[in-house]
Structure 1
Amino acid sequence: MFSQALVRPPSLNFADGLTREDLGAPDFPKALAQHERYCEALQRCGLTLTRLPPDARFPDGTFVEDTAVLMPNCSVLTLPGAESRAGEVDAIRDALLRQGHRLVQIQAPGSVDGGDICETGDHVLIGISARTNEEGARQLAAFLADAGYTSECVDIRAIDSILHLKSGLSWLGDNRVLLIEALAGHPAFARYERIVIDADEAYAANAIRVNDHVLLAAGYPRTAERLRQAGYSLVELDMSEYRKMDGGLSCLSLRY
């Protein structure tokens, strides 16, 4: 169960951020409106929000999830794998320290993006990607082990369709994961009940379970129906402007 979330709205230069997509530039007013609806959804799910101001030094700064890994017994500041994003961690550190978190941090030459880290109860899946390297994964695994968690790595570097592990995977609780076809056969997921997404709805794999609801990107009806049949209460949100910048629902908040 989550009680809090940290968020940051996009800055005016949001369109200058990193992206591999070719979907056009984001519409800034629309992105702001979508972010506000996202925040309202988190509040409806029972979370209290810490809202950081936009920071034009970091066009990708709205994707706060990449800056930390927060578990009940372990709070880890990351070192993002894109050099232009490294400075985003400072404001997150300050905010978390004010809230009493005891922090450890990934150190170079390690790199970790929070979008590569999927917590499944007391077991953590660590994606090895273009942004999270093996040294970063080793450091994170050691921090997690010290706090009583187990972990394992999932190498996604050969899967061109996803930037981060959670671009293609979500933990739903109840020993279930929602995931894309390219991940479904990986042995790391054999222990879970798998809800596999059709290839043309793959973006919907980045959903988030927030207490009694699942937040899902709008516009993916077959995925929505499968989740409803599995018993989940959905909140569907338009994520069009964040998809243009390689972002999804989980990217826009740190939940704890």
Structure 2
Amino acid sequence: MRGRVCGVGVRMPVYGVGARMSVYGIGARMPVYGIGVRMPVYGIGARMPVYGIGARMPVYGIGARMPVYGIGVRMPVYGIGVRMPVYGIGVRCPAVGRARRAGDRCQADRCRAGSPRGARVQRRRARGVERDGRGQVGLMMALPPPNSVPGEPVPSRRALIRRPSPRVADGLVTHVERRTVDPRVALAQWRAYGEALRAHGWETVEAEPADDCPDGVFIEDTVVMFRNVALIARSGAETRRRETAGVEEAVARLGCSVNWVWEPGTLDGGDVLKIGDTVYVGRGGRTNAAGVRQLRAAFEPLGARVVAVPVSRVLHLKSAVTALPDGTVIGYEPLVEQPSLFPRFLPVPEEAGAHVVLLGGARLLMAASAPKTAELFTDLGYEPVLVDIGEFEKLEGCVTCLSVRLRDLHT
């Protein structure tokens, strides 16, 4: 390479990267004319069929065997050298600790956590977004898994979980009498729940602990997934809104783009039941009409059909109903307000029997407190996998509340 290289993030002339141009740093604010850009240059990123960097095709030598959709996109990259969030090569974003402008102080000095601007940058990064100089916000996008085909679902068996807080006994209760919860027993039951998932082929991904959030273990309420889009919830219980911290980064690392429910909308993930492309959303104490509208706006462009369901007898929609692998909705009838809203409905004999997690095939993860329902499912040809979650049931929790399942990431 001709010219003098002054370090990463420093203004310097570079005369050999696809074009005669100036590069202002990796990750700094700059125009990049040769890496993944269509232009009349017969090198990297030229206006011609290029089977290399920036082309929409599999690249087999950049740290991983996987499709690469362009370098310079605002997104985390999970296979180019390392598995970690990368904000893009040539993306408009602050380069904390790496970029120094000529004749100016280091940007790291501007972005220190102690400064007001640095605090804002850190908060935005925690949410998985960056703003450019025009105030535009970019969603964190991820490259698809290796060997995937663009536009087709990628089989996934990942479950996002979170360790219970030491203050779990202080969790909210709404429709039940408060009972004493033993945090040590709750932790042991949570570990057994994770073991049950792993024993049946699921990879568990632990989100950052939220020790100051008593209900943080009920991670399903923090986010709703549809294909590779994550909608970060905004709980109708104001004290639970802090629980989304850490979940945003976790789903982005798993390969999801991220949207948010904004005020005045409220939405709890426990109010959302997905059956194929149909998304039932409970309209009740934790999810309001504005939240339903925002969920519809996020998922209908992806092919979802959103159906609102009234909820008043229980905390969440999925406190009353879930679904079997064939799409049949199951529920404890005294708690289901309009079973006719579902094409197929099967009543179960126990309240706890209305909650199942589909493990794959005929296997159903369900609470040990519903033995009659487990027997019913066995007679129907299913294989119940029982777990004791009694401490969480005291807090209106169930088997679905304790994880977020990612089943079909779409590229």
> Smaller-chain TM-score range?
over 0.9
Q: Pick the aligned partner of 1:178 from 330, 346, 355.
A: 330
Q: Pick the aligned partner of 2:271 from 111, 116, 120.
A: 116
Name which of structure 1's ranges 93-102 and 237-246 shifts more when overlaid on structure 2.
93-102
- The CA deviation at 1:90 is 1.9
Mapping for residues 127-142 of structure 1, pairs under 5 Å = 127-142=282-297
Greater percentage in strand: 1
- State the match for 2:61 in structure 1: none
Task: Give, in whole Å, the separation in 2 of the partners of 1:34 and 1:148.
Answer: 37
Deviations 1:2-51 (A, max 9, x none): 41011011111111111133252111111111101100111122111111
Q: Does 1:79 align with 2:228?
A: no
Task: Give, in whole Å, the separation in 2 of the partners of 1:17 and 1:66.
Answer: 13
- The CA deviation at 1:231 is 1.3
Deviations 1:85-116 (A, max 9, x none): 11111210011122221111111100000000
Mapping for residues 1-256 of structure 1, pairs under 5 Å = 2-20=156-174, 21-157=176-312, 159=313, 162-182=314-334, 183=336, 185-189=338-342, 191-192=343-344, 194-198=345-349, 201-212=350-361, 213-256=363-406
- The CA deviation at 1:187 is 2.6
What is the root-mean-square deviation in Å for CA atoms of aligned residues? 1.5
User: Could you tell me which amino acid in structure 2 is paired with residue 17 of structure 1?
Assistant: G
Structure 1 stretches of 5 or more lacking a match? none
Residue 246 of structure 2 aligns to a residue whose secondary structure is: helix
Task: Give, in whole Å, the separation in 2 of the partners of 1:171 and 1:2.
Answer: 19
Task: Give, in whole Å, the separation in 2 of the partners of 1:52 and 1:135.
Answer: 28
Residue 245 of structure 2 aligns to a residue whose secondary structure is: helix
User: Could you tell me which amino acid in structure 1 is paired with residue 370 of structure 2?
Assistant: Y
Task: Give, in whole Å, the separation in 2 of the partners of 1:11 and 1:25.
Answer: 15
- The CA deviation at 1:206 is 1.8
Task: Give, in whole Å, the separation in 1 of the partners of 2:332 and 2:370.
Answer: 13
After superposition, the Cα gap between the structure-2 partners of 1:149 and 1:73, relative to the gap in structure 1 and judged at 3 Å, is farther
User: Could you tell me which amino acid in structure 2 is paired with residue 195 of structure 1?
Assistant: L
- The CA deviation at 1:232 is 1.0
Q: Which structure has the larger Rg?
A: 2
- The CA deviation at 1:197 is 1.6
Task: Give, in whole Å, the separation in 2 of the partners of 1:76 and 1:38.
Answer: 25
Deviations 1:143-199 (A, max 9, x none): 111111101100112x2xx1100001111121212112142753311x12x22022x
Where relative contact order (Cα < 8 A, 6+ residues apart) is larger, the structure is: 1
Contact 2:324 2:330 in 1 (8 A): yes
User: Could you tell me which amino acid in structure 2 is paired with residue 187 of structure 1?
Assistant: S
Contact 1:68 1:76 in 2 (8 A): yes
Matched-pair identity in %: 35
Residue 216 of structure 2 aligns to a residue whose secondary structure is: coil
Contact 1:2 1:211 in 2 (8 A): no
Residue 141 of structure 1 aligns to a residue whose secondary structure is: helix
Deviations 1:118-158 (A, max 9, x none): 0011101000110011110111012111111101100112x
Task: Give, in whole Å, the separation in 1 of the partners of 2:380 and 2:331.
Answer: 14
User: Could you tell me which amino acid in structure 1 is paired with residue 387 of structure 2?
Assistant: L
Residue 297 of structure 2 aligns to a residue whose secondary structure is: helix
Residue 235 of structure 1 aligns to a residue whose secondary structure is: strand
Residue 138 of structure 1 aligns to a residue whose secondary structure is: helix
Residue 329 of structure 2 aligns to a residue whose secondary structure is: strand
Task: Give, in whole Å, the separation in 2 of the partners of 1:2 and 1:30.
Answer: 30
Deviations 1:58-108 (A, max 9, x none): 111000000111122432111111101111112100111222211111111
